Chains A and B, each alone.
Chain A
Amino acid sequence: MDAVASDAERSAVDAAIGTMSDRRVGQVAHGGPRRAAGRRTHLLPALHALQDEAGWISPGGLTYVCDRLDVPPAEAFGVATFYSLIATEERPRQVAHVCDDIVCLGAGAGEVLASLDDDTEVHRSPCLGRCDQAPAVFVQNAGAANIVVAPADTGRVRLVLDPQPGTTPVTSAPMPVQAGDASTRLLRGVGTGPPASFDAYRARGGCSALERALRIGREAVLAEVDASGLRGRGGAAFPADVKWRAVAAATEATRYVICNADESEPGTFKDRVLLEHDPFAVIEALVIAGFAVAAAQGFIYLRGEYPEAERVLDAALTEARLAGMLGESVLRSGFAFDIELRRGAGAYVCGEETALFNSIEGLRGEPRQKPPFPTEAGLFGKPTLINNVETLANIPWILQEGGAAFAERGTEDSSGSKLFSVSGAVAVPGVYEVEFGATLGDVLDLAGGASDDLAAVLVGGAAGAFVGPDRRDIVMTFAGTRDAGIPLGSGAIVAFDASTDFTAVVARIAQFFADESCGQCVPCRVGTVRQVEALERLSSGADTTQTLGDLDVVLRDASICGLGQFASNAVQSALRLGLIGAGP
C-alpha cells in the first residue's frame, strides 16, 4: 500500500493522538499482553479522527495511522470495518442514519426513510436511544458536529443536512418528568443547572460523597457498598460489592475502572439522560470507584451515537480537571486519578464488557470467553472494575446517606431505586425513577398510562421478553421479573398497542442481532441469520417453530457472550404469547 494521507487527514490524526513528542502518546503505559502494548490503544480515536475529517478511512489515511501507531494495516482495516459508523469506502460527507428499530418503526421511521432516500445517503440504524421522541435520525457530518434529530421529520432532518442561516434545529432531548424531584435519588440532580458547570454541581452539594470517601478511606467505602446491596443496572444484576472487593484485593498493582456508557439496548435511554444532564454525578462515582480499588486511570466508554452526551461529558471532564476533582491530587487528597473519554463507533456488542476492553485496546470489539473475569484480567489484562452508568450513579447517594440507608429503600433482593426507559404506546414516554418494588403497571401509570388497547409490553429491550397486557402485576425487581420468567435487563419498557404489526417488530429484533453479531462464534454468527430466515418463513405460513426452538437452545447454550445467548429471547416469548406464529 503506497497511498498517501492528505494534509487534512494527517492533521486530524495528529490532533487526536498527538505528535510523536507529545507526552500523551504512549503516556498510558499499560503493559499487559504484548498485542495491547504501545500505542495501539489510540487506534479507534485515530480512526474517528479520520472519519470525522474526511467522512471515510482512505487508504492513505489508514497507512498514516498505522505508521504512527505501529499497527499492521490489515489489522487496522479489520478494526475499522468492525464499526458501522466508520466507512472504508468513500461516501458523501453527510450520512443520515435513520433509526428503524422497534420504537421508531411504529413512529414513522418508514416515512422518514422513504422521503430521504433520493438525494441523501441513508442507512438504517439500530436504536439511537431517543425512543422518547421517536423517530430519530443520527446525522454523521464530516467536518462538522454529528447531531441527532428527534423527533425527526423530513423538514427537520433537511435543516441539519443543509443548515439555513438564522435557524437552529431543535434537537435537545426532553427533561424527565421527575427531573430535580427531591424525592428521587438518581434524577434529583437532573435539570438543576447547566450540566457541565462544576460550580453549579458544587453549589448543590456535589462532591460531598467523594470528600467523604477520601476522608473515611478505602475499606470504609467498600463497606458502604457492601451494606448497600447495590446490584448492577446494566442488565446482569451482578452484586456491585463483589466486583469492587475483587478488584480492590487484586495482587496486581495496576487496575482500571470503567464506566460502561455504551448504552445500546433497543428501547433504553436512561444512561443518556444521566450523562447529558448530570455528568458530574457519574464522574464523581467513577473517581470514588477508582479510589476504592486503588486505580489511577478510569475510562468512560460512550456509544458513538450520543454526540450531545459526548459534548457535555467532555466539557465536564475539563472542568473537573480544572477544579482538581481529577488529576495528580484529587481534591488535594494525594490520590491521583484521571478519566479518559472513549467514543464507540456503532457496535452494540461493545457494551459487553470484554468486547469493550478490546475496543479500548484498539482490537476488534469481539467478546472474550470468560473466565477469566474482568476483576482478574480485564482491560490490558489488568484487574478491572466495570460498572454501568446507572450503577455508578447510585454511588454518590450511597456515600452521602450510607449503604444501610440505601438498602432500606426497595426490596430485600433489589435495594435502592431503578430507572426505567418507557416508550411506545404510553401517554408520556421518558425516563422514570421508581423505588424497587413497583409493578409494571405502576411504571406504565407513571408514564401517563398505557394505551387502552395495549397488546403487549417488551421488557428489557431486544434481549428481553414480551409480556401480555394482563401482566401489570409483575413486580419490577430482580426477583420479581425472574419469577415472571422475564429479564429486568436494562430497564427498558416498550408498550405496543393493538395496531402493532408484531411480525415486523419481532423480525426487526431478530435482524438487530444478526446485524450486531460480531461474527466470532458459529452459533451467533450463523444462528442469528437462520433465525431471521425462519421468522420470514413463519410469516409466510410455514411452521418453523421447531427450527426456531432448536436455534434458541444452541444460541443460549453455546454462544460466547450475552448477545448470542439472548438473541432468541424476545422471539421465543412472542411465540409463546401468540403475537407471531402460524396463526389465523
Chain B
Amino acid sequence: MIEQRIDPPQPLVELTIDGTTVGVPVGRTVLDACRELGIDLPTLCYLETLTPVNVCRVCVVEVEGSRTLVPACSRRVEAGMVVATGSPRVEHSRRLVFELLASSVDLSLLDHTTVAWMEVSGVDVDRFDAPLATRSQSVKIQDDLYVRDYEKCILCYKCVQACGDEAQNTFAIALAGRGFTATISTEFDVALPDSACVYCGNCVGVCPTGALMGKVQFDLRAAGSWDESHQSVTTTICPFCGVGCNLEMRVQDGAIVDVTSPLDHSVTSGHLCIKGRFGWQHIST
C-alpha cells in the first residue's frame, strides 16, 4: 500500500500578484504563489529540493511598501501583499543581473528556459566595455568521475548545500574567499581525492550552469561529439542496493554518457551515491 501523507488544511493567505488575487497556504513563498497563478519567474540559485539562499537575485519582484526589491524564492507570503513581477524596476534588475553574470562567467551551458528568459529580458551580454575582470580560469580535472570548471560558476551555493547538510552531509566544499574572487573550494584548495569528497556527485546533480560535469560528458563535449539529438533517456531502478533509487540513464550511440535521478523522485530527491551516479562503466565493457 502506498502511504499518502495528507497535511492538515492550512489557512490561506491572500495576496495580489500582477493585479490578480490569489490565496496560498501560510508559509509558502511568493514564487510558490506566482506559480500557483501560472506566472513564471526566472531562477538560478533556487531548487525545489534545497533551502532557498536568495543570492542570484534574478527572481526579484516588487512588493508594495518595500524599499528594495525582494527575492520571490525565499520571501514568505503575507496577507495583503501587493506584488509586481514585471514592473520596470523588476525588469531593470533582472536584465542587469543577467548582464553582470554574463560579463563575468561563462554562461554557455545554461538551460533553455533561462536562455529564453535572458532573451525576453533584452539582455545584452556585451553591455559592459572591456577591459573587464572575469572569472576566467582553467578547468580542475583531478579524477575520472567529474570536473570542476569554475569559469562557469555563478556561486549559487547549490553544490555546497548538496554536499552539506541538505543532502550528503560530507562537507567537502564550501565558499572560500570574499567578493568577486570568492570561489567554491576544499580546505586549502586541496585536490578532491585528498578532501572529504565521497564522489556522490550530488554537487554535479544540482549545478545549474555546467560548471560541475561528469567526466564522460566533459570529454565528449571537448571532443565535439556530445550530441543531444542522438541521445535518449531511459528511466530505471538502480541495481546496486535495495533502496530503489530511480536512475535516468542518458544514452548516446549505444553508450551511457550520464546518469541523473529525477528531482521529484520520493526516494532520491535527485540525489544519488557514487555507485548509482558513476558506477555504470561495466555495462559497456
Contact = CB atoms under 8 A, between A and B. Distances in A.
Tell whether A pairs with B. yes
A521 B129 contact: no
B172 A74 contact: yes
Interface string B17-36: 00000000000000000000
Interface in B237-278: none
A192 interface: no
Interface residues of A, number: 52
B174 A530 contact: no
A315 B68 CA distance: 42
Nearest to B133: A529
Given A78-B185, A520-B55, A527-B100, A72 B180 contact: no
A347 B178 contact: yes
A62 B185 CA distance: 15
Contacts of B54: 369, 521, 560
B174 A521 contact: no
Contact of B100 (A1, A537, A554, A560): A554
B159 to A, nearest CB: 11
B187 interface: yes
B74 interface: yes
A121 interface: no
A208 interface: no
A542 B100 CA distance: 20
A517 B180 contact: yes
Contact of B171 (A75, A82, A544, A553): A75
A280 to B, nearest CB: 35
B68 A565 contact: yes
A514 B179 contact: yes
A550 B96 contact: yes
A117 interface: no
Contacts, number: 160
A279 interface: no
Interface string B50-92: 0000111110100000001101001110000000000001001
A95 to B, nearest CB: 18
Contact of A521 (B57, B171, B175, B180): B57
B57 A523 contact: yes
Given A522-B154, A533-B132, A558 B93 contact: yes
Interface of A (DSSP majority class): helix
Contacts of A526: 100-101, 103-104, 180
Contacts of A502: none
B71 to A, nearest CB: 6
Contacts of A533: 128, 131-133
Contacts of A529: 104, 133, 179-180
Interface of A: 1, 34-35, 59, 62, 72-78, 81-82, 84, 88, 347, 364, 369, 371, 514-523, 525-530, 533-534, 537, 542, 544, 547, 550-551, 553-554, 556-560, 565
10 contacts: A74-B176, A74-B187, A78-B174, A78-B176, A519-B182, A522-B101, A522-B154, A523-B96, A554-B96, A557-B89
Given A72-B174, A81-B178, A522-B56, 12 more contacts: A72-B196, A74-B174, A74-B195, A78-B175, A88-B188, A519-B180, A521-B55, A522-B154, A525-B155, A526-B104, A553-B92, A558-B57
Give the 5 A-B CB pairs with smallest separation, nearest first. A72-B171, A519-B182, A78-B174, A73-B187, A554-B96
